[in-house]
Structure 1
Amino acid sequence: MSEVTTTDLYEVTMAMSYLREGMRADATFSLFVRDLPPGRGFLVAAGLEPALEYLTRFEVTADDVRVFAEALHRPTADLARLAGLRFEGEVRAVPEGRLVFAGEPLLEVTAPLPQAQLVETYLLGQLCHQTAVASKAARCVLAARGRPVVDFSLRRSHGPQAGFQTARLGGIVGFAGTSNVDAAVRLGLDASGTMAHSYIESFPSEADAFRAFARAHPGPVTLLVDTYDTDRGVSTAARVLADLRRGPGCAVRLDSGDLGELARRSRTQLDAAGLSSVRIIASGGLDEYAIDELVRSGAPIDVFAVGTRVGVAADAPYLDAAYKMVAYDGRPVMKLSPAKVTAPAAKQVYRRPGRPDVIALRDETPPPRSEPLLGTVMLNGRRTGPSDSLTAARRRFEADLEALPPGARRIRGPRPPAPTVSERLSRLTGEVRGHLLRDLGGPSTVRVTDGIPPGDP
């Protein structure tokens, strides 16, 4: 049994039927987010790399067929046509780290219909979760305004795989490190960690704990100071660090209470002890909103450690995303369901400096001074180049963030840019809609622009 079985049952039942009917012509599916979640001025495209790894090794084995048959309570022979099916198609996608907006395809798959259908669930699962978390993490970086942010999410993420993904996504959007040892080593990130309250509690006193920890770690240390009383903890940490002459590079960590007020009092104590080089790290339920308030208040916090709220994208934990067929066997197709209308045909997104993006047909002439966002990353089931790097993704993110309009960068009440639709795409949408309505035998309340941004490039 392989990852192929990590799918919804209806993908299997549809693929079975396609094969039975001989429907193997190429289909194009577009993966996009209909609307940005409330409180988001942008999304960070993420999850492409693991999605491509999955497609590269996608093959329905005999064991997979047996699993499908068991789930369907059908004889294995009924699903024999699925055996040996591999992904042999093309993938065009927005590279990781780039900013995207409502209605813009993150990815388009063109492949024989059964193949393109079977990979839907996995692709949505990868891109939706990771784009949501990356976007939340990016807002933390914005809120910190140049102060380091580190990832402490592993223990509260939705499983180890999600924790690894969060560490990786933090690397894309500029986090300074992660507590996740596995991710740090495998991804080349800086590992970051301190101590737990249990460590302090296991010693006769805070001073004993701090001294023992410093003896075990000859370099800079970070001491957790709020196990009993934060003010006394800071005082004890200052005394131990001064006695051991361990100031530069060291830090104290605040994990509870009024972090802004405690940071101010801690800074005063540390400076009075001659430890102005000792940093203050804050953690405990932080996200972009809390970080923004602390920075705006002038709290002397040097590093923010984020965990639970970021690892699960707490305020916007899902995306209203879809993977919809837009063409089959050379014929543009679309969905007319109210509020869920899709635009037909393969597409491209063009980014223009200082102006809204344009969602256009794939083969359209680019608007002046524009760049295409979707590039071909797979052909004939094989990647067109080497795996992307976190460094490259981070550079793309930083460049796009720099060009983002101020209103979209806001932590509270952001105003996301609205892409426009090209005249050709808008016209084709109307033509396909009209043809469908004629076939259905009557008018409809569905408008051409339902579900897609207005067309005014």
Structure 2
Amino acid sequence: MDHLGELKTEELGLFIDLYELTMAQAYHSEQLEDRALFTLHFRKLPEQRNFMLACGQHYAALLATALRFPPEQLEHLASLDVFTDDFLQWLGNFRFTGDIRVLPEGTPVFPHEPLLEVEAPLIEGQLLETLLMNYVSTETVLASKAVRMVIAAEGRSVVDFGMRRMHGYDAALRGVRAYRTAGLAATSNVLGSLRYGLPANGTMAHSYIQAYKDEMEAFRHYARLYPGTTLLVDTYDTIKGVDKVIRLVKEEGFEVGAIRLDSGDLAELARASRKRLDEAGLDQIRIVVSSGLDEWSMQEIIDAGAPVDGFGVGTKLGVSEDAPAIDLAYKLTEYRKEPRLKNSPGKKLLPGRKQVWRFRDAHGCYSYDEICRDTEQRDGESLLVTVVRNGEPVGPEPDIEESRERVKRALDEMGPAMLALDRAEKDYDIRISEELDQLYREALEAVSENGSDNRG
């Protein structure tokens, strides 16, 4: 158990769907080695979303530059009895040599807009599909859920408690990276905190209180060991638990930073707890609530006027319960300098190299986006930037704090409809430039006439 199931760098090449490798071998045997363009995008928003928060694409692009097929992995592939010696030898010499452009992490993104585009020899671009889609899908889904909770909290702290019920340790770790980008205040995930710089935070479990015969004794020991801690007060009787905290502070001089409510009518219990604390002169003690929260229940608590200072969110964040997947697609959109697309119902694909331009109104708020050919110029903000050129990283690695600031700015620049938790009556305005639309129609006509010969 040398790595306890964790993906090692030398295994990146095998983190792939089999058909990517069989297609690559077919390309290799036919010497289809010309330059190709692949676009990663999604076709539609999840039902309750007004935008998605792009996350993971820059990091994934850098992973692509580390993709290798060392001898041990080639032996594994050879054991499948699918691949020729010639192709395995080619894989042994594989190095990504192409270019990758991405949206900066923390950028709000909408249907049909590229999260990234890969321009490389056809086989190289094909081999990246699974890796790129997995990383971008996981982090974008989790960041998009987390930012909704940040919006719902209206400036109150939101802490991640969800790792125990997430779909594997990898999602739990990468989730912390997404949560920091989205604006969460802290995480209970120690490794995630150390790896991605989101402060570690936690309280206690009911089992700690239960381990003592007397609740007050449990509070006393914990507060002595951790001055300024948060005490869980609802193991037995919530209001009696609050009264014990008050005695602990007023009569025994202990320092308590907050109480946590984890069951019952959270809004009503928060009001009752706040009243008791304030009457005791302890207005500095904060109230944190948890217990199966999502953005809608958080909003209800705030709308009820509950004096809550922070939220602990777990399962419904960690699995993005209402929208656990996004309709991501990684498609060939240009080959041999010719546009490529598919003509499938409900699966529109924009061909060629693209750029996304974002426009703001006179108040600096989002107005509309235009997807153009990359040769077109506009007076808005161009979003796609090159992060890999000729197989080598360009510029610094993605800075999570910079991405977090980008999210904060975006939230200030979006209108109320986009920030609403329910789907807006009107979608954000996404326009297709005339040149790109013309290219699409020409490619569609070519597919209709010569589809049997079109390798796209």
Q: Could you say whether these structures have the same fold, taking a TM-score greater than 0.5 normalized by the shorter chain as the test?
A: yes
Match of 2:64 in 1: 55
Match of 2:23 in 1: 14
Give the distance between the partners of 2:210 and 2:71, measured in 1 at CA.
Answer: 55
Give the distance between the partners of 1:125 and 1:9, measured in 2 at CA.
Answer: 15
Q: Is 1:86 aligned to 2:95, yes or no?
A: yes
Instruction: Choose the corresponding residue for 1:387, options 378, 394, 397.
Output: 397
Distance 1:121 1:72, change over 3 A: farther
Aligned residues of 1:264 and 1:299 also touching (Cα < 8 A):
yes
Distance 1:214 1:113, change over 3 A: same
Give the distance between the partners of 2:451 and 2:285, measured in 1 at CA.
Answer: 72
Match of 1:418 in 2: 429
Aligned residues of 2:69 and 2:91 also touching (Cα < 8 A):
yes
Q: Which amino acid aligns with 1:71?
A: L
Q: Is 1:400 aligned to 2:410, yes or no?
A: yes
Give the distance between the partners of 2:110 and 2:302, measured in 1 at CA.
Answer: 27
Deviates more, 1:101-110 or 1:176-185: 176-185
C-alpha displacement at 1:19, in angstroms? Answer: 0.9
SS of the equivalent of 1:2 reads helix
**Which structure 2 residue ranges, 5 or more long, are not aligned?**
1-9, 362-366
Match of 1:447 in 2: none
Q: Is 1:301 aligned to 2:308, yes or no?
A: yes
1:26-73 Cα shifts (integer Å, max 9, x gaps): 110000011010110111110124313311211122222222233355
User: Could you state the TM-score of these two structures normalised by the residue count of structure 2?
Assistant: 0.93
1:290-336 Cα shifts (integer Å, max 9, x gaps): 11111111111101111110111110000011000000121111110
C-alpha displacement at 1:372, in angstroms? Answer: 0.7
C-alpha displacement at 1:78, in angstroms? Answer: 5.6
Give the distance between the partners of 1:15 and 1:300, measured in 2 at CA.
Answer: 59
Match of 1:167 in 2: 176
Matches within 5 A, 1:66-105: 66-73=75-82, 79-105=88-114
Q: Is 1:182 aligned to 2:194, yes or no?
A: no
1:246-290 Cα shifts (integer Å, max 9, x gaps): 35x611001111111111111112122221111100111111111
C-alpha displacement at 1:74, in angstroms? Answer: 5.1
C-alpha displacement at 1:76, in angstroms? Answer: 5.0
SS of the equivalent of 1:209 reads helix
Matches within 5 A, 1:12-411: 12-73=21-82, 79-217=88-226, 219-247=227-255, 250-354=257-361, 355-366=367-378, 368=379, 370-411=380-421
Deviates more, 1:403-412 or 1:372-381: 403-412
Aligned-residue Cα RMSD (Å) equals 1.6
Q: Structure 1 segments of 4 or more deviating over 4 A?
A: 72-78
Aligned residues of 1:153 and 1:166 also touching (Cα < 8 A):
no
Aligned residues of 2:104 and 2:384 also touching (Cα < 8 A):
yes
C-alpha displacement at 1:350, in angstroms? Answer: 0.3
**Which structure 1 residue ranges, 5 or more long, are not aligned?**
442-457
Distance 1:182 1:419, change over 3 A: same
Give the distance between the partners of 1:392 and 1:259, measured in 2 at CA.
Answer: 35
Aligned residues of 1:16 and 1:81 also touching (Cα < 8 A):
no
Aligned residues of 2:58 and 2:102 also touching (Cα < 8 A):
no
Q: Which amino acid aligns with 1:259?
A: L
Give the distance between the partners of 1:72 and 1:358, measured in 2 at CA.
Answer: 48
Give the distance between the partners of 1:331 and 1:61, measured in 2 at CA.
Answer: 34
C-alpha displacement at 1:409, in angstroms? Answer: 0.7
Aligned residues of 1:349 and 1:372 also touching (Cα < 8 A):
yes
Aligned residues of 1:326 and 1:344 also touching (Cα < 8 A):
yes
1:92-133 Cα shifts (integer Å, max 9, x gaps): 000101111111000000111111001100100110111111
Give the distance between the partners of 2:265 and 2:20, measured in 1 at CA.
Answer: 50
Q: Which amino acid aligns with 2:278?
A: D
The size of the alignment, in residue pairs, is 437
